[in-house]
Amino acid sequence: MDCQICLQKYNGNSKNRIPRILKKCGHTMCHQCLKKQEEDDQIVCPFDRKVTRLRGGVKSLTKNFAILDLIGQEPAYPRKSKKHTEDSDGSEKKDSDDDDDDDEEEEGVRIQQPDSDEDSE
């Protein structure tokens, strides 16, 4: 997918090509194009002229994770990281919080299926 301003491909591994979302209107452009349009801590969207005020520069705008996911460079949602710690003997062990073999039930809704009524005819 390409930035509609500079026509360069989005790239989550290159700071200048990260797709970012304008808060006021939701349009997306690459970081570099947004930097060029930044003036007085605001950006006027070139598509609809809506003004997005910046607090912390272009870097403060949210990355467009949907685009990054589509181009296969970053997940649209944060993935659970595996933390490892060392035992006193130097061997590696998993944190108990990240143990996949927990006996605890995962959060969620369980739907109980009604018993079949074979006797009612």
State mean pLDDT over 75-98.
Answer: 50
Q: 1 forms bridges with which residues in the sheet? A: none
Q: In sequence order, what are the residues at sequence separation of 6 or more whose Cβ sits closer than 8 angstroms to the Cβ of residue 41?
A: 53, 54, 55, 57
pLDDT tens digit sequence for 41-60:
999 999 999 999 999 999 99
CATH code of 61's domain? 3.30.40.10
The model's pTM:
0.61
Determine the pLDDT at residue 112.
54
Residue span of the structural domain in which 52 resides = 15-70
Residue 77 has pLDDT above 80, yes or no: no
Strand 92-94 to strand 42-44: parallel, antiparallel, or no bridges (unpaired)?
Answer: unpaired
Confidence of residue 76 (pLDDT cuts 50, 70, 90): very low
Is residue 37 domain-resident?
yes
Mean pLDDT, the chain, whole residue set: 77
Confidence of residue 81 (pLDDT cuts 50, 70, 90): low
Q: Count each helix (H run) and each strand (E run) in the chain, helices first.
A: 2, 6
CA–CA distance, 35 with 52 (Å, rounded to integer): 13
Return the ∠ at Cα 86 (arms to 84 and 87), rounded to 5°. 130
Domain count, the chain: 1
Look at the block and give the residue holding tokens 């006021």: 24
Is residue 51 domain-resident?
yes
Is residue 95 domain-resident?
no
Determine the pLDDT at residue 73.
85
Is residue 118 domain-resident?
no
* Bigger pLDDT: 27 vs 103: 27
